[in-house]
Amino acid sequence: MADIPWDLRRRALKDSIRHDKRVKEAIRKNLKELIAEENIITSDGRKLVKIPLRYLDQYRFRFGQMGSGTGQGKGNVGDVIARDSERGEGGEQPGDQPGEQVYEAEISVEELTRMMLEDLALPWLEDKEERQITTTSYTFDDVRRKGSMANMDKKRTLIENLKRHAVHKRPKVGAFSDADLRFKVWSVQQEHHSNAAVYLLMDRSGSMTTEKKYIAKSFFFWLVRFLKLKYQTVDMVFIAHDTEAQIVPEQDFFTISNSGGTMCSSAYRVALEHIQHTHPKARWNNYIFHFSDGDNWPEDNSRCKTLIAQLLDHAAMVGYGEIRYYDEATFYGWGNTSEPGRSLLHNELSTVAHQRFITAIIKRKEDVYQALQTFLAKKEGMENAPELGNAAFQVGR
């Protein structure tokens, strides 16, 4: 087959790149569902995660029931030889509500985060008087004739070599001299940032079932990812509460167990005190996100309202997310039971009429994405607001 045109050879590489691109598109289209994917939330800092994609199938007319076939080996009629999960190759998920072939895509958490949170930002971020935080970063941004061999710019060196020979009408690469060598050099950049502190408050009371807590955690998971990705330095404060609140380290926050009653005001109070102490409004943009199922002590609700109002005096934004679902079935999206109303706490809080107090209700896993969008949408008039870290001041050039 020597006479086959060159561009028809090695097409597999092109098609596999195309396939990868389609995988990414499929991921992008299904972020809503992927956002609560357990594989990812529990990825625990692993760089690559596998996510099941049900959207990359090549559809065709096919049979629903695929559970029969021919086998071989010993055994009597009636003997069970396999369960669905043990079916071999070709044993597709059968059934009237047919399982779909699942394609497992591998993707880095960072890339996924970028896709998820592309259009989000911390709203109402302001330049504070004192730009307290400075970070240092190194970037290769210049090419010179002298430098460390480890940083040689091979491509440019080759080009220089080629040029030098070409000048002498010898178009070739070879016989390198010192004059050809090019090196990448770096410069040190110091950046001053607006200061932002984010308070993550989570209800850990007994009524927060595993599923509810999972919702809160997946929200916080993405929030933390987002903050780390987009903003180099953000102070994060984790507060867990039942009837009492305490500040906990990040790793404990995500693995915390639950028990006890609920007094949301305790968490607000701790947050408020911490803000006044450590992150005064003059210098810090403070963001407070609280997740609860709203099963608060009724007497506590009015106190919550007062505290929220106080917090708003000190914060750029306060977000309250309520996780409500009727039962497991609606939560996972099957079943169709009537939807629960808002909690008393939520009713009380929604009388706080303040532009920077934002609430969201999460009824099923897919709503997490919506909640992120609600809380972190770029608000009107934000185009000119400072991005954290974009006012770079360069030194050492």
- Using CB under 8 A as the binding rule, whether residue 381 contacts other proteins is answered as no
- Tell me which stretch binds other proteins (CB under 8 A): 14-22, 113-121, 188-196, 316-324: 14-22
- Using CB under 8 A as the binding rule, whether residue 60 contacts other proteins is answered as yes
Cβ contact 325:363 at 8 Å: yes
Cβ contact 343:321 at 8 Å: no
- Using CB under 8 A as the binding rule, whether residue 147 contacts other proteins is answered as no
Min. distance of Cβ 50 from other proteins in angstroms?
Answer: 14
Min. distance of Cβ 57 from other proteins in angstroms?
Answer: 8
283 by Cβ neighbours in 10 Å (0-12 / 13-18 / 19+) ranks as: middle
Contacting residue, 24, 87, 281, 364, with other proteins by CB under 8 A: 87
- First CA to last CA distance, the chain: 58
- Using CB under 8 A as the binding rule, whether residue 386 contacts other proteins is answered as no
Per-residue binding string, other proteins, 230-269, x by CB under 8 A, is ----------------------------------------
- Tell me which stretch binds other proteins (CB under 8 A): 65-73, 170-178, 190-198, 247-255: 65-73
Report residue 149: phi and psi, to 5°: -60, -30
Residue closest to 368 by CA, chosen among 245, 237, 240, 226: 226
Q: Which distant-in-sequence residues (6+ apart) come within 8 Å of 38 by Cβ?
A: 214
Q: Measured between alpha carbons, how far is 205 from 244 in angstroms, rounded to an integer?
A: 10
Contacting residue, 28, 95, 302, 393, with other proteins by CB under 8 A: 95
Radius of gyration of the chain (CA): 28
Residue closest to 325 by CA, chosen among 197, 166, 189, 211: 211
Q: Count the neighbouring beta carbons within 10 Å of the beta carbon of residue 199.
A: 26
- Using CB under 8 A as the binding rule, whether residue 336 contacts other proteins is answered as no
- Using CB under 8 A as the binding rule, whether residue 282 contacts other proteins is answered as no
- Tell me which stretch binds other proteins (CB under 8 A): 74-82, 227-235, 263-271, 362-370: 74-82
- Using CB under 8 A as the binding rule, whether residue 1 contacts other proteins is answered as yes
Min. distance of Cβ 81 from other proteins in angstroms?
Answer: 5
Look up residue 86 and give its amino acid: E
Cβ contact 196:128 at 8 Å: no
Look up residue 332 and give its amino acid: Y
Min. distance of Cβ 330 from other proteins in angstroms?
Answer: 14
Q: Which residues bind other proteins (CB under 8 A)?
A: 1, 4-5, 7-8, 10-12, 14-20, 22, 56-65, 67-84, 87-91, 93-98, 100, 103, 334
